[in-house]
Amino acid sequence: MIKVLSAEFVTTATKLEEYPRQATPEVAFVGRSNVGKSSMINALAHRRKLVRVSNTPGRTKTLNFFDVALEHRAKKRTLRLCDLPGYGFAKVSKTERMHWDTMINTYLGNRHTLKVVVTIIDGEIGPTPDDLEMLDFLQDKPPRILVVATKMDRLSKSARKPMLEKIRKQLELPQNSLIGFSAVEGIGHEDVWRTLLGIVG
């Protein structure tokens, strides 16, 4: 059993010099706007309002860092979570989109403390072209990739496993490498933490 001891906001950044200085192992969360990224982080951290949840896609415009202290097998660990701006739906100008792209690419390509990138797929509709583009972009980057399918609660219980298998095949992932998740029903929370801690070591 993994116990969340605390979760707190660290800082907001838009460029390299603003990133936190500590060498805390980092986990980035990326996903299409409106995929449930903020709800997922809040659920993992056991905090309802750690990350602001918006009904307006594309509201997150910065890199937002949070520290989560965990206890697992009598050992305490701290992971730093980084919430990245969502991609896809956001109605923004071309200039602002270029700024976002530069900000995200700089972070993902240059952050030496970044150990894992959690790539979030909408489990109700499956991967979009934007999701495939992001996964392709991440392939040659140092951090490990963990793919999580959110919104499992929106599918009937009988439809969940077949949908996960369909997404896994679409993304050409190995067996048992896709985690189903629901912020509402608590599905996959322990699996995500256990996997992240296993990767970080």
| Confidence at 61, pLDDT banded by 50, 70, 90 | confident
pLDDT at position 27 is 98
Residue 153 belongs to domain spanning = 2-200
> For the domain that residue 177 is a member of, what is the CATH number?
3.40.50.300
Average pLDDT over residues 149-160: 97
Using the predicted structure, report yes or no on whether residue 55 has a pLDDT greater than 60. no
- Supply the pTM of this predicted model: 0.92
Using the predicted structure, report yes or no on whether residue 18 has a pLDDT greater than 80. yes
**Domains in the chain, number:** 1
With beta carbons less than 8 A apart as the criterion, state whether 4 and 81 touch.
no
Radius of gyration of the chain (CA): 16
For residue 113, the SS3 value is coil
Query: 94: Cβ–Cβ under 8 A, 6 or more apart, which residues?
Result: none
Using the predicted structure, report yes or no on whether residue 57 has a pLDDT greater than 70. no
Residue 29, amino acid: F
Average pLDDT over residues 143-149: 96
Pairing of strands 75-83, 178-180: unpaired
Q: Could you tell me the two tokens for 168?
A: 């896994």
pLDDT at position 91 is 61
- Tell me: the pLDDT tens digits for 69-83? 999 989 999 999 999
Using the predicted structure, report yes or no on whether residue 58 has a pLDDT greater than 80. no
